[in-house]
Structure 1
Amino acid sequence: MRAGSGSSTGESWQERERRREEAVRRARKLPREPSSARARLVLWLSLACWTGVLVWLALTLPERVPTHWSGSGVPDGWSSKAGALAMPVVFLAITLPLVLLSRLVFVAPDLVNAPHREWWTSTVPRVVRFERLVREDIMVITGLTLLLLVSAEVVIAYAAHQPGGAVPWWIFPVALVAYLTLLTLRVVRMYLGGRYRPDVQERALQDRDAT
Structure 2
Amino acid sequence: MGNSGVNSSWRERQAHLREVMAEAKTLEREPAARWVTVVFGAATALWIVVVVWLALTLPDEVPIHWSSGGVPDGWASKTGALAFSILVPLATIFPLVFLSRLVLAAPDTLNSPHKEWWIAEPHRLIRCERLLREDLMVIVALTVVLLTTVDVLIGYAAHQPGGVVPSWWFTILLVAYVLALVGYTTWMYASARYRPTKPVPPTGK
TM-score, length of structure 1 as denominator length: 0.88
Match of 1:30 among 18, 27, 31: 27
Residue in 2 that maps onto 1:40: 37
Deviation track 1:135-155 (CA, whole Å, cap 9, x = no partner) reads 100111111111111111011
Deviation at 1:121, TM superposition (A): 0.4
Residue in 1 that maps onto 2:66: 69
Deviation at 1:43, TM superposition (A): 1.1
What CA distance in whole angstroms lies between the structure 2 residues aligned with 1:74 and 1:144?
Answer: 27
Deviation track 1:2-27 (CA, whole Å, cap 9, x = no partner) reads x7889xxxx93432332223112210
What CA distance in whole angstroms lies between the structure 1 residues aligned with 2:35 and 2:73?
Answer: 40
For structure 2, which runs of at least 5 residues remain unmatched after alignment? none
What CA distance in whole angstroms lies between the structure 1 residues aligned with 2:18 and 2:181?
Answer: 31
Q: In the alignment, is the contact (CA less than 8 A) between 1:115 and 1:190 conserved in 2?
A: no
Task: Please list, as runs of the form range in 1=range in 2, the aligned pairs for 1:182-197 lying within 5 A after superposition.
Answer: 182-197=180-195
Tell me the amino acid that sits aligned with residue 101 of structure 1: L
1:142 aligns with 2:136: no
Q: In the alignment, is the contact (CA less than 8 A) between 1:115 and 1:196 conserved in 2?
A: yes
Aligned length: 200
Deviation at 1:179, TM superposition (A): 0.9
Residue in 1 that maps onto 2:106: 108
SS at match of 2:127: helix
Q: In the alignment, is the contact (CA less than 8 A) between 1:35 and 1:136 conserved in 2?
A: yes
Q: CA RMSD in A?
A: 1.9
Tell me the amino acid that sits aligned with residue 107 of structure 1: A
What CA distance in whole angstroms lies between the structure 1 residues aligned with 2:108 and 2:176?
Answer: 31
SS at match of 1:19: helix
Residue in 2 that maps onto 1:119: 117
TM-score, length of structure 2 as denominator length: 0.90
What CA distance in whole angstroms lies between the structure 2 residues aligned with 1:35 and 1:126?
Answer: 15
Identical residues among aligned pairs (%): 48
Residue in 2 that maps onto 1:203: 198
What CA distance in whole angstroms lies between the structure 1 residues aligned with 2:158 and 2:73?
Answer: 13
